[in-house]
A and B are shown apart, each in its own frame.
Chain A
Amino acid sequence: MADRTSLTRRALLGGIGSLGALGLAGCAAAARPQVAAPPAPASGAMPGMDHGGTTTNLGNMLQGDVDPAANGFDPMAMLTDFDYGTVSTLPSGQTLREYTVYAADKVIEIAPGISFPAWTYNGRVPGPTIRCTEGDRVRVTFTNGSTHPHSIHFHGFHAAEMDGVTPVAPGEQTVYEFDAAPFGLHVYHCHVPPFMRHIHKGLYGTFIIDPKTPRPPARELIMVMNAFDTNFDGANEIYAVNSVGFHFTKHPIPLKVGELVRIYLSNFTEFDPINSFHLHANLFNVYRTGTGLEPSEFTDVITMGQAERHILEFTYDRPGQFMFHAHQSEFNGLGWMGIFEVTEDGVASAPFETAARLGICQLT
């Protein structure tokens, strides 16, 4: 793989050089010794093969990296961070799951070096992934620690009083309680006007109701497609999955050859009517809204409006790096791009920096 990477890079530089950018090629060549070759996977592919790969990004990249510890949440950890609540059994025998959610104003880093004054559930965007099984009693205690009124509106079946359309004033608390139904992939979000601002500032999350008979075991990943309007002009500057632009390009998601992958994918992009998900070198089964157990479609692009969500299932039967991204090219360039790194052992190579790999031309 080290060979493959440098081969591609050299080919790229050759291409630039032949166009006459001697200065750039020179600089890039000078930067080459800094490049740390990623460790080779157990079984490499043929050198020179196109892996839908990482080295074709040219310079289209955010510089630097977001420190998850400082930010309070890690897009990678969010992929598999399910909140099953505090479980107990009611006298009736029904399972009770109790969750605690608070709203808080928080400045988060949505791209390296760019801060955004977010409104968050539990200090993160997207909010916690609330997961339960169909028929469970769900009890969510919501405290509003923000400076503005907020609420939680769950998708799914529940009583009108539990619909989360009544604003909860700052400092106030409320409890949402209902029986989880129907099974599927749902979402929740704040439902206080002006909706646009409450959504785009970050008050949304994933709500999974598992069927009583569980789905087959799989490597499950939660992905929320979202975007941020950093200058508040009604158009997004950053697009991402789980909030940080290009995070999964810099830190490829490790997958294992042959394992079933299940993505809980939802869309909370504001301002743009749609967002989409495209998988490289593979196709996936679509379970629309996750409300059925039979796939409705076998495809490699799925396009979704806001709050639409689907379960996607696929398997890679060969190793390599495979991109996934929106198929709106504009969103790709603005951060909505990631990589699955499929290996025999499911361990991803070291994260990388395009800047270091390509070399930035320092003008002297």
Chain B
Amino acid sequence: MARVTTPAGDQPKAPTMGAGAVLLALIPLLLLGGLIAMLVVTGAGLGNRTAPPIEELTVDRISLPAVDQMVVEVTNGGADPVTVAQVLVDDNYWDFAISPGPEIPRLGRATIAIPYPWVQDEPHHVVLISSNGVTFEGEVAVATRSPQPTAATFGQYALLGIYVGFIPVGLGLLWYPFLRRLGRGGMQAVLSLTVGLLIFLLFDTMAEALELIATTPGVFGGAPLVFLVALLAFGALLAVGGAGKGRDASKLGVAYRIAFGIGLHNLGEGLAIGAAFALGEAALGTFLVIGFTLHNITEGIGIAAPIARERPAWWHFVLLAALAGLPAVLGVWIGGFIYNALLAAVFLALGAGAIAQVVYEVGRLIVRQSREEGAPLLSPATFGGLAAGILIMYATALLVAA
């Protein structure tokens, strides 16, 4: 079996660092400091900048905490400070209060409170005008009062997360006794089905992350950030998985890692659901919940498949369901109350990395079993399972309207 090795584990021990070596490392840094100082002082010989500043302000979120109240959160992702001079709502200049102040420094954030009489269920359009007359726009798709973090809404959101996360995963795990009765060919098919499900989730999660990151200021990295976070998460989980040297990667461990990856994915789903509810976009609330429940029930099979030949204690199943399902609750809370697109994209990218890692791990399991049987890797059972997994996820995803 090919063992994954961590770079750290196989590195030869570095020779001790002398003061001379430290100095050698510092020389480029000192020179760099000198260069930057020179550039700042001389203006790099490019003369004074005559062009007007390029202003870039992103509307992160618009919430409606109460009747006649609109709150706009913005981030300055540009190279220069931006001063918000006036605010328009639906083509009307409107009173506003901006905190901490109208001048938003580079990478700074500000919150603008507008006492605007918004209209239930109708769209609203917010425009911010900078001191240079540049306009930045934001939209409320369907106006409805934003949920407030009260005990009641916390409870409701938790319930929502349990419905779409914990319960379907738990139900899926109940297929465990059935899976135990499957023959070797059947097991290979179910493991392949798991890989299919996970591959669908991987693409779905990445697409979601890329969609979200596109709404954030480009300065934070954009699409490359999503790919790099996913790659790092993938690598880190591989490294952690291979760190337990001598101990054979237990199948229960695989199940836990699958549950963890799915948990991060469900956190992302929770974010989307919470945000949709908060922004009033989830008009089809019940239908949305049914869709996600059906969609996620297959995730339970994915978790149960690797341990079909083991006999873990019952509480492992509760823990697995919790690990995979409960993050959805957290996601709904975050999405509903403190939604932040950048954070959500990073979470989703982490989830994608985690899912990629379990795809790799379960894939290895299938490869090993195929070798033991001398069967081809791509048999009707394995490919059929894979295709079925993807198709099931695709079909159930059609039920999710939001």
| Interface residues, chain A, with chain B CB atoms under 8 Å away | 16, 19-24, 28, 58-63, 111-116, 228, 230-231, 233, 237, 245-246, 330, 333-335, 354-355, 358, 360-363
Contact A60/B69 with A230-B134, A237-B133 known, Cβ cut-off 8 Å:
no
B95 A363 Cβ-Cβ under 8 A: no
Main secondary structure of the interface of B (DSSP, over half): strand
> Chain A CB within 10 Å — which of B86, B88, B113, B114 has the most?
B86
Main secondary structure of the interface of A (DSSP, over half): loop
Closest to A360 in B: B97
List of B residues within 8 angstroms of A23 by Cβ:
65-66, 69
- Known contacts A62-B93, A114-B131, A363-B65; can you find 8 more A-B pairs with CB under 8 A? A23-B65, A24-B115, A58-B117, A59-B114, A111-B85, A112-B86, A115-B133, A230-B129
List of A residues within 8 angstroms of B134 by Cβ:
230-231
Q: Check if B92 is an interface residue, CB within 8 A of chain A.
A: yes
A121, chain B: closest CB distance, angstroms: 21
Closest to B114 in A: A59
Give the contacts of B62-111 with A (CB-CB under 8 A): 65-69, 71, 83, 85-88, 90-97, 99, 102, 111
B67 A20 Cβ-Cβ under 8 A: yes
B333, chain A: closest CB distance, angstroms: 20
Closest to B132 in A: A115
List of A residues within 8 angstroms of B94 by Cβ:
59-61
Given A22, A116, A333, A361, which contacts B113 in the complex, CB threshold below 8 Å? A361
B95 A355 Cβ-Cβ under 8 A: yes
Closest to A355 in B: B95
Interface footprint category on B: 20 to 34
Q: Report 24 cross-chain contacts, Cβ distance below 8 Å, ordered by A residue.
A: A21-B69, A24-B66, A59-B116, A60-B92, A60-B94, A60-B95, A111-B93, A114-B86, A114-B129, A114-B131, A115-B132, A228-B133, A230-B129, A231-B133, A231-B135, A237-B135, A245-B93, A330-B91, A333-B90, A333-B91, A333-B92, A333-B93, A334-B88, A361-B69
B10, chain A: closest CB distance, angstroms: 55
B371, chain A: closest CB distance, angstroms: 63
Closest 6 CB pairs of A and B: A230-B133, A113-B85, A333-B92, A59-B95, A360-B97, A21-B67
Contact A61/B95 with A114-B86, A230-B135 known, Cβ cut-off 8 Å:
yes
B285, chain A: closest CB distance, angstroms: 23
Cα separation A358 to B115 with both chains bound (whole Å):
10
A114 B133 Cβ-Cβ under 8 A: yes
Given A16, A19, A21, A358, which contacts B95 in the complex, CB threshold below 8 Å? A358
Cα separation A358 to B97 with both chains bound (whole Å):
12
List of A residues within 8 angstroms of B117 by Cβ:
58
A67, chain B: closest CB distance, angstroms: 14
Given B68, B96, B99, B129, which contacts A24 in the complex, CB threshold below 8 Å? B68
Cα separation A354 to B71 with both chains bound (whole Å):
19
List of A residues within 8 angstroms of B68 by Cβ:
16, 19, 21, 24
Contact A116/B133 with A23-B65, A24-B69, A363-B71 known, Cβ cut-off 8 Å:
yes
List of B residues within 8 angstroms of A59 by Cβ:
94-95, 114-116
B116 A237 Cβ-Cβ under 8 A: no
Given A28, A63, A114, A115, which contacts B96 in the complex, CB threshold below 8 Å? A63
List of B residues within 8 angstroms of A62 by Cβ:
86, 93
> Chain B CB within 10 Å — which of A20, A112, A115, A363 has the most?
A363
B57, chain A: closest CB distance, angstroms: 12
Cα separation A176 to B151 with both chains bound (whole Å):
77
Cα separation A102 to B68 with both chains bound (whole Å):
48
Cα separation A188 to B65 with both chains bound (whole Å):
51
A19 B67 Cβ-Cβ under 8 A: yes
List of A residues within 8 angstroms of B130 by Cβ:
114
A135, chain B: closest CB distance, angstroms: 44
Closest to A228 in B: B133
Cα separation A16 to B133 with both chains bound (whole Å):
32
Closest to B145 in A: A20
A360, chain B: closest CB distance, angstroms: 4
Cα separation A358 to B95 with both chains bound (whole Å):
9
Cα separation A62 to B85 with both chains bound (whole Å):
9
A114 B85 Cβ-Cβ under 8 A: yes
Cα separation A275 to B99 with both chains bound (whole Å):
36
> Chain A CB within 10 Å — which of B85, B102, B114, B116 has the most?
B85
Cα separation A59 to B95 with both chains bound (whole Å):
5
Contact A360/B85 with A114-B131, A355-B95 known, Cβ cut-off 8 Å:
no
B210, chain A: closest CB distance, angstroms: 28
A363 B67 Cβ-Cβ under 8 A: no
List of A residues within 8 angstroms of B65 by Cβ:
23, 363
List of B residues within 8 angstroms of A61 by Cβ:
93-95
List of B residues within 8 angstroms of A113 by Cβ:
83, 85-86, 102, 131
Contact A63/B86 with A231-B135, A355-B95, A361-B97 known, Cβ cut-off 8 Å:
yes
Give the contacts of B118-146 with A (CB-CB under 8 A): 129-135
Given B66, B88, B91, B131, which contacts A115 in the complex, CB threshold below 8 Å? B131
List of B residues within 8 angstroms of A20 by Cβ:
66-67
> Chain A CB within 10 Å — which of B68, B91, B130 has the most?
B68
A362 B93 Cβ-Cβ under 8 A: no
Closest to B95 in A: A59
Give the contacts of B178-212 with A (CB-CB under 8 A): none
